[in-house]
């Protein structure tokens, strides 16, 4: 078996500065590659004045990292544009926030071509290629055009939208057809997989085989649901570290006997932060006995702050949090601690453990790793309660949580109360069930299941089965790691 080549928009290898504050995808890929010798390819995050296509390589642990710089136009049209202003809102069912601009389409196509042109010469004959997320849907098509015949799999970290929503995207058909050039397409949930299959049958006129694969124009593409998990062992170590323990003690001291409700998210409209603040306000209004006995800590790391919708959300959150504190705070109690900075992973583990309630209420989310991390960080003898949105992919697996509708303030307010007063015996039973699931479905299983499915024999799908690669068995000379 050849190497594993992972491709994602940004590359943030284990040990790189900023890893951990970069979101779920970076965390998962860092964990997946840790034990695999392989190559991680993507954008450096830097822009140069003119695009050069020069590949920079370095070695981080067992992983070779190869990156290219993009130019400023790429950043605006591909990254801020098509990825974050078109596909992200659309796939999260926020058609009201989605922008459709032809320059974005052009930027998206151009960057996928640039990725393919830079990557193709690095691919050896037996390598498997695993492409991640919505930034790179057309990448397999571009690689195929350049003669790459290797197995190429695609995993979507965010939800696949319903058919009606997707058809509001100009040229949606082209986008989905390009996706069918992969050998295997993985989704987080059964719900997303079914939505995709529904689009292929109802909009494209394709078929779904008994095994769930999709067939269109004589081509078969394998489809699967591969729910992502966390690296439980790594997280346990983080939670047991001296830093986590210090933070935990510090948190407990600052709580002065009050119970803590905790939210940890990137500052993103899909995470339902504004609705969550309003639900907490409702909880305070409904539960006079809880005033001064609880507080809510929301860590909301800034994200995509060049995009207007994120700037608007930030301004609204500033206003709502200010209003809640203005109305309810006393001289020695702040009901809502709202923090925009990001924390180290081990610090975060200590904060999770100190929280009586983990509040995870996205309006729509591919999976949501915070829910799993919160569970993994708990004290087995005295665990906290997870409140989880029915619209997080994680809800397909974590039904021992208190499942809520994040659009209903009253539902969420009630669940907060229930979580805070839940007897220990019930907390332990629920937590045990959740923890068994988190342990059984960790990130290694996700990676192994996906890669095993990718290695299954082809049956007429993906690329025509005709090696050899034009680049032979070895990396081209000149490909060196620093
Ligand atoms: C996408 C999908 C899917 C957050 N703040 C800090 C910090 N984080 C870490 C968390 C967690 C990660 O970021 C967030 O992961 P999520 O899964 O919750 O969400 P997205 O970033 O939207 O991820 C999502 C995921 O991809 C994986 O497939 O689950 O549905 O949207 O790991 O801990 N980490 C640190 N400091 C912070 O302040 N160190």
pLDDT digits (tens, 9 = 90+) for 343-378: 999 999 999 999 999 999 999 999 999 999 999 999
Indicate the burial class of 33 (C-beta count within 10 angstroms; 0-12, 13-18, 19 or more): buried
Beta bridge partners of 57: 66
Domain 232-440 has CATH 3.50.50.60: no
Q: Find the 371 Cα to ligand 1 centroid distance in Å.
A: 10
Q: What is the pLDDT of residue 28?
A: 66
pLDDT digits (tens, 9 = 90+) for 385-411: 999 999 999 999 999 999 999 999 999
Q: Find the 332 Cα to ligand 1 centroid distance in Å.
A: 32
Q: Which residues contact 385 (CB under 8 A, 6 or more apart)?
A: 356, 357, 358, 401, 402, 418, 419, 420, 422, 427, 430
SS (HEC) of the chain: CCCEEEEEEECCCCCCCCCCCCCHHHHHHHHHHHCCCEEEEEEEEEEECCCCCCCEEEEECCEEEEEEEEEHHHHHHHHHHHHHHHHHHHHCCCHHHCCCCHHHHHHHHHHHHHHHHHHHHHCCCCCEEEEECHHHCCHHHHHHHCCCCCCEEEECCCCCCCHHHHCCCCCHHHHHHHHCCCCEEEECCHHHHHHHHHHHHHCCCCEECCCCCEEECCEEEEEEECCCCCCHHHHHHHHHCHHHHHHHHHHHHHHCCCEEEEEEEECCHHHCHHHHHHHHHHHHHHCHHHCCCEEEEEEEECCCCCCHHHHHHHHHHHHHHHHHHHHHCECCECCEEEECCCCCHHHHHHHHHHCCEEEECCCCECCCHHHHHHHHCCCCCCCCEEEEECCEHHHHCCCCCEEECCCCHHHHHHHHHHHHHCCHHHHHHHHHHHHHHHHHCCHHHHHHHHHHHHHCCCCCCCCCCCCCCCCCCCCCCCCCCC
pLDDT (tens, 9 = 90+) of the chain, 482 residues, equals 678 999 999 987 655 544 444 455 666 676 667 666 689 999 999 999 999 999 999 987 777 899 999 999 999 999 999 999 999 999 999 999 999 999 999 999 999 999 999 999 999 999 999 999 999 999 999 999 999 999 999 999 999 999 999 999 999 999 999 999 999 999 999 999 999 999 999 999 999 999 999 999 889 999 999 999 998 988 888 989 999 999 999 999 999 999 999 999 999 999 999 999 999 999 999 999 999 999 999 999 999 999 999 999 999 999 999 999 999 999 999 999 999 999 999 999 999 999 999 999 999 999 999 999 999 999 999 999 999 999 999 999 999 999 999 999 999 999 999 999 999 999 999 999 999 999 999 998 999 999 999 998 876 555 544 443 333 333 333 222 22
Domain 4-229+443-455 has CATH 3.40.50.280: no
Q: What is the pLDDT of residue 399?
A: 97
Q: Find the 25 Cα to ligand 1 centroid distance in Å.
A: 7
The residue whose CA is least distant from atom 28 of ligand 1 is: 157
CATH topology identical between 4-229+443-455 and 232-440 = yes
Q: Is 367 in the pocket of ligand 1 (CB under 6 A)?
A: yes
Q: What is the pLDDT of residue 217?
A: 87
Q: Which residues contact 3 (CB under 8 A, 6 or more apart)?
A: 37, 38, 39, 124, 126, 127, 128
CB 139 within 8 A of CB 112: yes
Considering 92, 157, 248, 356, which one is annotated as catalytic?
Answer: 157
**Backbone angle region of 462, left / alpha / beta, with phi > 0 → left and psi within -120 to 50 → alpha:** left
Q: Find the 271 Cα to ligand 1 centroid distance in Å.
A: 11
The two tokens of residue 304 are 């995509």
Q: What is the pLDDT of residue 35?
A: 64
Q: Is 33 in the pocket of ligand 1 (CB under 6 A)?
A: no
Determine if the pTM surpasses 0.75.
yes
Q: Find the 415 Cα to ligand 1 centroid distance in Å.
A: 23
Q: What is the pLDDT of residue 59?
A: 85
Q: Is 243 in the pocket of ligand 1 (CB under 6 A)?
A: no
Choose one of 369, 389, 446, 447 to mutate for the ligand 1 pocket test, by most ligand atoms within 8 angstroms of C-beta.
Answer: 369
Residue 231 falls in the annotated catalytic set: no
Q: Find the 376 Cα to ligand 1 centroid distance in Å.
A: 15
Q: What is the pLDDT of residue 61?
A: 72
Residue 135 falls in the annotated catalytic set: no
Q: Is 342 in the pocket of ligand 1 (CB under 6 A)?
A: yes
CA pseudo-torsion sign 192, 197, 200, 203: negative
Choose one of 20, 130, 271 to mutate for the ligand 1 pocket test, by most ligand atoms within 8 angstroms of C-beta.
Answer: 20
Choose one of 10, 16, 19, 24 to mutate for the ligand 1 pocket test, by most ligand atoms within 8 angstroms of C-beta.
Answer: 24
Distance CA(309)–CA(392), nearest Å, equals: 21
Q: Is 344 in the pocket of ligand 1 (CB under 6 A)?
A: yes
In the chain, the largest separation of any two C-alpha atoms, in whole Å, equals 73
The residue whose CA is least distant from atom 11 of ligand 1 is: 24
> So where are the chain's domains?
4-229+443-455, 232-440
């Amino acid at each position: 078996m050849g190497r594993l080549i992972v491709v994602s928009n940004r590359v943030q290898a284990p040990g790189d500065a900023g890893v951990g504050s970069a979101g779920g995808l970076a965390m998962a890929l860092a964990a997946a590659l840790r034990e695999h010798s392989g190559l991680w390819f993507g954008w450096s995050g830097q822009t140069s004045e003119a695009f050069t296509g020069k590949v920079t390589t370095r070695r981080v642990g067992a992983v070779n990292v190869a990156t290219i710089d993009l130019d400023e136009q790429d950043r605006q049209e591909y990254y801020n544009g098509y990825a974050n202003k078109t596909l992200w809102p659309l796939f999260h069912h926020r058609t009201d926030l989605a922008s459709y601009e032809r320059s974005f389409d052009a930027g998206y196509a151009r960057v996928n071509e640039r990725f393919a042109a830079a990557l193709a010469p690095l691919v050896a004959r037996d390598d498997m290629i695993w492409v991640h997320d919505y930034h790179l849907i057309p990448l397999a098509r571009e690689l195929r055009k350049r003669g790459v015949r290797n197995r190429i799999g695609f995993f979507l970290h965010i939800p696949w939208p319903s058919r009606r929503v997707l058809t509001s995207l100009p040229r949606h058909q082209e986008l989905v057809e390009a996706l069918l050039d992969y050998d295997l397409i993985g989704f987080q949930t059964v719900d997303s997989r079914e939505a995709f299959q529904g689009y292929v049958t109802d909009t494209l006129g394709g078929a779904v085989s008994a095994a769930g694969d999709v067939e269109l124009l004589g081509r078969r593409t394998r489809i699967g649901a591969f729910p992502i998990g966390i690296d439980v062992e790594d997280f346990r170590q983080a939670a047991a570290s001296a830093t986590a323990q210090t933070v935990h003690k510090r948190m407990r001291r600052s709580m002065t006997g009050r119970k803590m409700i905790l939210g940890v998210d990137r500052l993103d409209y899909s995470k339902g932060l504004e609705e969550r603040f309003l639900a907490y306000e409702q909880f305070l209004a409904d539960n006079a006995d809880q005033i001064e006995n609880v507080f809510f800590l929301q860590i909301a790391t800034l994200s995509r702050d060049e995009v207007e919708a994120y700037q608007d959300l930030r301004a609204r959150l500033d206003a709502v949090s200010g209003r809640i504190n203005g109305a309810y705070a006393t001289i020695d109690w702040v009901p809502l601690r709202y923090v925009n900075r990001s924390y180290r992973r081990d610090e975060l583990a200590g904060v999770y453990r100190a929280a009586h309630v983990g509040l995870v209420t996205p309006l729509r989310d591919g999976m949501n790793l915070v829910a799993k991390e919160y569970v993994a960080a708990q004290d087995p003898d005295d665990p906290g309660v997870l409140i989880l949105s029915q619209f997080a992919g994680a809800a397909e697996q974590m039904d021992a949580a208190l499942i809520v509708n994040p659009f209903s303030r009253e539902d969420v307010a009630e669940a907060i109360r229930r979580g805070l007063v839940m007897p220990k015996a019930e907390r332990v039973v629920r937590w045990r069930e959740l923890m068994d699931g988190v342990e059984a479905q960790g990130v290694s299983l996700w990676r192994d299941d996906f890669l095993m499915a990718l290695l299954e024999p082809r049956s007429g799908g993906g690329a025509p089965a005709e090696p050899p690669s034009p680049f032979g068995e070895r990396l081209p000379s000149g490909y060196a790691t620093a």
